[in-house]
Structure 1
């Protein structure tokens, strides 16, 4: 887990998560991976994940691993509880799940990004956390930046062929 103090910029690598307070910004770059942000509007405390796969295979040593969707969310919820923030009090936003190899793979089969995004939605629903915004699927990478002071998440889609694609409207 990455941790932050006041006015700090954190960069998440795949398989990491962070919990931070106001004055912090958390960034990452997503492809087929997914990021969930959780934000408490009154306390201005938030968490962000960068998970690689929806779930772990049958092997595991019982230690939670942020590389997997459900485990990453559990880790964030546990650390937020230490800050007196509980899941039902949070707004969630979900990002990523891009198809990094369009035109390849088995026709009709879900690519890993689609599985990750659908898993994130289901995990949040199971825990009673409302999703207020999302930017999921499509092709290419997403650069995201979460401002914990405001709860805003800025998204920049990087299309695999044409480069940056500006997104219209307000931050997610």
Structure 2
């Protein structure tokens, strides 16, 4: 007895494989750009992720690790230079006297804004040939993809913290 093949399933599977291939290449390109950005401007990767996450809300280190989907030890190592640079500070946790919350300092907010501006200034010219509507659509779809993968793979909360309105629509 032969199994009946579902052409729609096969087509969706092939499309998913192609999407994952493109996504893998994009991740490698983004990682390489991040390393170059860090070498030139001194801020990217985990430290930048920490500043972005703390810009939306104070957080305990363990909760921050969960939001960023990285090991707590990675957060701990990345926090040391951020605290030494005066970008992040520990504050009393009103819910637990034994714990501390991490928050951005004014210098941390300024450095984050500067990093965002530097990175955007570098990449905006690369997208000059793109229709702004295409950029907006791609942004919305990538946000939706990240949310779908995070939820479907049970990875916890999204890396960037709170949900945007675009994430609630499907």
**Pair in the same fold by TM > 0.5:** no
Higher strand share: 1
Report which of the two structures shows the higher radius of gyration computed on alpha carbons.
2
Higher helix share: 2
Structure with bigger RCO (C-alpha 8 Å, 6+ apart): 1
TM-score normalised per structure 2: 0.29
